[in-house]
Amino acid sequence: MATIDGLPPLREVIATHDLVAKKQLGQNFLLDLNLTAKIARMAGDLSGCDVLEVGPGPGGLTRGLLVEGARRVLAVEKDPRCLPALAEIAAAYPGRLEVVNGDAMEVDVLRHLTPPIKIVANLPYNVGTELLIRWLTPKAWPPVWQSLTLMFQKEVAERIVAKPRSDHYGRLALLAQWRTDAKIVMHLPPEAFTPAPKVHSAVVHLTRLDQPRFPADEAILQRVTAMAFNQRRKMLRSSLKGWGPDIEERLLAAGIQPTQRAEEISLEGFCALARALAT
Report the pLDDT value the prediction gives residue 196, as an integer from 0 to 100: 85
Residue positions counted in the chain: 279
Radius of gyration, alpha carbons of the chain = 21
- Reduced to 3 states (helix: H, G, I; strand: E, B; else coil), residue 268 is helix
| pLDDT of the chain, 279 residues: tens digit per residue | 445 588 999 999 999 999 887 777 667 888 899 999 999 999 999 999 999 999 999 999 999 999 999 999 999 999 999 999 999 999 999 999 999 999 999 999 988 999 999 999 998 777 899 999 999 999 999 999 999 999 999 999 999 999 999 999 999 999 999 999 999 999 999 999 888 888 999 999 999 999 999 999 999 999 999 999 998 889 999 999 999 999 999 999 999 999 999 999 999 999 999 999 998
Q: What share of the chain is helix, strand, coil (3-state, %, to 5)?
A: 45, 20, 40
Tell me the C-alpha distance between 247 and 241, whole Å. 6
Please count the CA atoms within 13 angstroms of the CA of 43 that sit on its side-chain side: 34
pLDDT single digits (tens) 171-221: 999 999 999 999 999 999 999 988 888 899 999 999 999 999 999 999 999
**Alpha-carbon distance values, 167 to 60, 66, 128 (Å):** 34, 38, 20
Report the pLDDT value the prediction gives residue 206, as an integer from 0 to 100: 98
- pTM equals 0.94
> Which among 133, 137, 179 is positioned nearest to 156, based on CA atoms?
133
* Burial of residue 100, with CB atoms counted within 10 A of its CB: 0-12 exposed, 13-18 middle, 19 or more buried: middle
> Which among 105, 232, 98, 243 is positioned nearest to 173, based on CA atoms?
232
